[in-house]
Amino acid sequence: MQREHIHFVTGRLAEVALRRVLAELAPKVAFDYSVQVLGISVAALLTAPWVARRIQVQANCSRVILPGYCNGNLDCIAQAAGVPVELGPKDLRDLPAFFGQAQAGRRDYGAYDIEILAEINHAPRRALADMLAEARRLKADGADVIDLGCDPGDTWTGVEDAVKALRAEGLRVSIDSMNRHEVEEAVRAGAELVLSVNAANRTYAADWGCEVVVIPDSTAGATQADAIEQIEQTVAVLSHRGVPLRVDPILEPIGFGFAASLGRFLEARQRLPDVELMMGIGNLTELVDADSAAVNVLLLGFCQELRIKSVLTTQVINWARTSVRECDLARRLVYHAVKNRVLPKHLEPELLLLRDPKIHSHGAAELERLARTIRDPNYRLFAEGDFLHVIRANLHLQGDDPFDVFERLCATDAERIDAKHAFYLGYEAAKAMTALALGKQYTQDEPLCFGFLTRPEHRRQRPNLRSSESHDATTDTG
């Protein structure tokens, strides 16, 4: 079978790097290639009509790949080239991923078998409209069941209306209460699960006609054996009466029996091999000074290995405000890892929030080469080697203090920097310094990547120092 021949288009500054990447990539993917270097320094300024007038492909070419920044309808290029045309990545260093080299481990990725219960805390204090809005958000983030967390004390008289309203939205509902009257009202209105049942209320559970969560009578001062024995007694009573159930041995906070509570889950699985288990994970995510994403991944990894098929989470405190979404991503990651016996690595970039999986660096020599090669006055910003770099034709400033760099820039370019440029440079410099502080990839005019928390930047094109000229590629023929 004849190998595919791909024609790559780039600008002068990216030629060396592109050829280096293709030389390594082509043998792995098994394609032949050609590279056309157009008369432009920066490929980000390419436009489709300009490329269409200059495209030249070989007779055996099967398709053309353009830099991801190329603007305009590609049909005119395809017509001129006589072959399909597509946009590649914006950063040529992402070409391996574009050709599937970095994503091989994600085949058949995305399945899961852990159910997420998302609790609305202090539900009796919430207005119904507010509760419904919160439930919709939780559902959109991945929650399977909306759990209504009740308050101790007075009976919640609005529980029936709340459950009916949630059910009318097509949502599954559980009720988190030890109050018999609240539970009965909720179940009649359509709640399918009751949290929680132990010796104090198990005699009523047979009348509810729904599944319940069994917990120990008390974990304070109880040995691991005592807690498991309490669970087994309640399981025996409910099983005898035909009540469907799952068991939560209770996860304790760090410093209050965390390690021992993990042991309870292990022993519960050993002694109750056929009983469904559940873990309430808020005692860790809400009660430790750490961003919740990694904590959620570890806990769900434990659950996946132990066949704990449901978790109850909350997102009250600010550092855990996206726990439901984190659990939704985490359950897919740990399912794939356990099922396929592969490391949970290079599989779920959406969970890498603080630092990026890999940082592409140009290196000092390449930055110096760019500074010597660039022929236009527009600014390029880079964040490398603990320094902010500002490069234009005949200028390369660097430093670890953006205020100092800007002062030096103003000393040479004061007449060029108007308010628009100053705002733009300040915004980009702030992003670059944030990237240096966190260990993230900074790419000019692109948002910093914060996994699933990344916010797109809706902006116009960067300011052009040559105000009399447009951003069309024809202005940079150098």
Phi and psi for 238 in degrees, rounded to 5?
-70, -40
Q: How far apart are CA 333 and CA 322, in angstroms?
A: 17
Q: How far apart are CA 441 and CA 456, in angstroms?
A: 15
Strand pairing class (395-399; 387-392): antiparallel
What is the per-residue pLDDT for 104? 54
- In the chain, the domains with their CATH numbers are 4-102 (3.40.50), 115-345 (3.20.20.20), 364-475 (no CATH)
- The answer to whether residue 346 scores a pLDDT higher than 90 is no
Q: How far apart are CA 288 and CA 292, in angstroms?
A: 9
pLDDT, tens digit, 9 for 90 and up, residues 287-307: 999 999 999 999 999 999 999
Banded pLDDT at 139 (limits 50, 70, 90): very high
Q: Are 64 and 83 in contact (CB under 8 A)?
A: yes
Range 99-120 average pLDDT: 84
- Bond preceding residue 196 cis, omega within 30 of 0: yes
Range 231-250 average pLDDT: 96
Q: Are 61 and 4 in contact (CB under 8 A)?
A: no
- The answer to whether residue 467 scores a pLDDT higher than 50 is no
What is the per-residue pLDDT for 15? 87
Phi and psi for 113 in degrees, rounded to 5?
-140, 15
CA nearest neighbour of 253 among 244, 262, 245: 262
- Does an H or E element contain 116, and which? strand 115-120
Q: How far apart are CA 237 and CA 137, in angstroms?
A: 38
- The answer to whether residue 143 scores a pLDDT higher than 70 is yes
Q: Are 14 and 92 in contact (CB under 8 A)?
A: yes
pLDDT, tens digit, 9 for 90 and up, residues 385-400: 899 999 998 899 999 9
Q: How far apart are CA 241 and CA 235, in angstroms?
A: 10
- The answer to whether residue 462 scores a pLDDT higher than 80 is no
Side chain identity, residue 232:
E
What is the per-residue pLDDT for 461? 65
Range 129-153 average pLDDT: 96
What is the per-residue pLDDT for 437? 95
What is the per-residue pLDDT for 342? 86
What is the per-residue pLDDT for 102? 60
CA nearest neighbour of 131 among 116, 140, 121: 121
CA nearest neighbour of 207 among 172, 230, 181, 233: 181
Q: How far apart are CA 153 and CA 144, in angstroms?
A: 28
What is the per-residue pLDDT for 219? 74
What is the per-residue pLDDT for 460? 64
What is the per-residue pLDDT for 466? 54
Q: Are 6 and 31 in contact (CB under 8 A)?
A: yes
Calculate the alpha carbon distances from 95 to 23, 83, 100, 269, 278 in Å. 12, 20, 9, 46, 42
Q: Between 458 and 35, where is the model more confident?
A: 35
Helix, strand and coil in the chain, % to nearest 5: 40, 15, 40
Q: How far apart are CA 415 and CA 407, in angstroms?
A: 13
What is the per-residue pLDDT for 472? 39
Side chain identity, residue 258:
F
pLDDT, tens digit, 9 for 90 and up, residues 62-85: 999 999 888 889 999 999 999 999
Q: Which of 282-296, 328-342, 364-378, 461-475 has the lowest mean pLDDT?
A: 461-475
**Residue recorded with tokens 């529980």:** 159
Q: Are 196 and 182 in contact (CB under 8 A)?
A: no
Q: How far apart are CA 478 and CA 475, in angstroms?
A: 8
Q: Are 37 and 16 in contact (CB under 8 A)?
A: no
Q: How many Å from the N-terminal Cα to the C-terminal Cα in the chain? A: 42
Q: How far apart are CA 216 and CA 286, in angstroms?
A: 22
Q: Are 181 and 155 in contact (CB under 8 A)?
A: yes
- Does an H or E element contain 425, and which? helix 419-438
Mean confidence (pLDDT) of the chain: 91
Side chain identity, residue 70:
C
CA nearest neighbour of 7 among 96, 82, 115, 93: 82
For the beta sheet containing 380-384, the strands, ordered from the edge strand earlier in sequence to the opposite edge, are: 380-384, 387-392, 395-399
Side chain identity, residue 446:
E
- The answer to whether residue 339 scores a pLDDT higher than 80 is yes
Q: Are 146 and 115 in contact (CB under 8 A)?
A: no
> Taking the CA of residue 9 as centre, how many other CA atoms within 13 Å lie in the half-sphere pointing to its CB?
34
pLDDT, tens digit, 9 for 90 and up, residues 123-132: 999 999 999 9
| Cα angle: 72, vertex 74, 75; to 5 degrees | 125
Collapsing DSSP states into helix, strand and coil, what is residue 392? Answer: strand
What is the per-residue pLDDT for 222? 74
pLDDT, tens digit, 9 for 90 and up, residues 156-188: 999 999 999 999 999 999 999 999 999 999 999
Banded pLDDT at 264 (limits 50, 70, 90): very high
What is the per-residue pLDDT for 116? 98
